[in-house]
């Protein structure tokens, strides 16, 4: 049986370690040619090594698995998604008949996923068109989805696109909206950041989370940005590279 060249992409090192061991133990026809712990490294290795399949985590910082694929379509490899909890994504996978593995990964399901990859490889039939439809479905859902943010007097349901930026204030967060409103949310900035994961938001500073679609200017000299409400925010030195990388992808 011909070897299947695989790349593993997951920001959690223990997850790629475990999957590597499982593949070696249960799927002898799979050759792991690269292990990547960021989406950026994943894109580089895919372009460099031309894999037959990638095992791709969905939830990763800076760029999730769907955004990674958007940078590469059309492509000539198979994709097996790995996920712990993304309920909507799982529904989309079923609609598009896309392979996915729930963490912790079950041995039998892994073997079956590899069998399907081998069948498609031998038939010279990749799933690029099918994956394009999946990405359209995911993108459409993301654009329409609202997030719920708790306030002192109830819950506020907002479209992420209406949020310009968020600013930390101890255990609270101020959310600044495109209509000029300033909302006090009873969540920490970290919790708000988690709610906005996958919606083009980036933590430029310990106290500031910004919507990249509302950034209108970047000053290279002082690493400052100006948002659409006229606010100037300095990017923390250690976050500058990640900001420029993510901003180039939107």
- For residue 243 the two structure tokens come to 């900001």
* Lowest mean per-residue pLDDT among 120-134, 144-158, 166-180, 225-239: 120-134
Q: Whats the size of the chain, residue-wise?
A: 250
State pLDDT tens for residues 62-96: 788 888 988 886 788 999 999 876 565 676 676 56
> In the prediction, which pLDDT does 89 show?
65
Categorize the per-residue pLDDT at 207 as very low, low, confident or very high, splitting at 50, 70 and 90: very high
State mean pLDDT over 137-141: 65
Class level of CATH domain 4-143: alpha beta
My answer on whether omega of the bond before 87 falls inside 30° of 0, hence cis, is no
- For residue 233 the two structure tokens come to 């925010």
Distance of CA 13 to the CA centre of its chain: 16
- pTM above the 0.75 mark? no
Say how far apart CA 221 and CA 204 lie, in whole Å: 16
Q: What is the residue extent of each domain of the chain?
A: 4-143, 147-247
> In the prediction, which pLDDT does 249 show?
54
Does residue 233 surpass a pLDDT of 80?
Answer: yes
Distance between start and end Cα atoms, the chain = 41
Say how far apart CA 116 and CA 114 lie, in whole Å: 5
Does residue 199 or residue 231 have the better pLDDT? 231
Q: Among candidates 133, 144, 11, 141, which has minimal Cα distance to 65?
A: 11
- For residue 39 the two structure tokens come to 């989406």
- For residue 58 the two structure tokens come to 């969905």
Does residue 167 or residue 103 have the better pLDDT? 167
Does residue 29 or residue 72 have the better pLDDT? 29
Domain 147-247 in CATH: superfamily? LytTr DNA-binding domain (2.40.50.1020)
180 DSSP 8-state letter: S
State mean pLDDT over 9-32: 96
């Amino acid at each position: 049986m011909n070897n299947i060249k695989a790349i593993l992409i997951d920001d959690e090192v223990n997850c790629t370690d475990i999957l590597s061991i499982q593949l070696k133990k249960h799927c002898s026809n799979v050759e792991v040619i690269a292990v990547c712990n960021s989406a950026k490294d994943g894109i580089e290795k895919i372009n460099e090594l031309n894999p037959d399949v990638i095992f791709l985590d969905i939830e990763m910082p800076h760029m999730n698995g769907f955004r990674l694929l958007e940078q590469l379509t059309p492509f000539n490899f198979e994709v097996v998604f790995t996920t712990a909890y993304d309920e909507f994504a799982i529904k989309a996978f079923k609609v598009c008949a896309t392979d996915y593995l729930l963490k912790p990964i079950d041995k039998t399901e892994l073997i079956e996923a590899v069998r399907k990859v081998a069948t498609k490889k031998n038939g010279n039939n990749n799933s690029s068109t099918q994956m394009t439809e999946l990405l359209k479905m995911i993108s459409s859902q993301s654009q329409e989805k609202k997030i719920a943010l708790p306030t002192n007097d109830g819950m506020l349901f907002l479209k992420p696109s209406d949020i310009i930026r968020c600013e930390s204030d101890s255990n609270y967060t101020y959310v600044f909206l495109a209509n000029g409103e300033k909302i006090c949310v009873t969540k920490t900035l970290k919790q708000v950041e988690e709610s906005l994961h996958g919606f083009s938001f980036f933590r430029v500073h310990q106290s500031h989370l910004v919507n990249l679609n509302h950034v209108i200017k970047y000053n290279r000299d002082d690493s400052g940005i100006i948002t659409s409400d006229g606010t100037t925010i300095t990017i923390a030195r250690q976050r500058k590279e990640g900001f420029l990388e993510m901003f180039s992808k939107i």
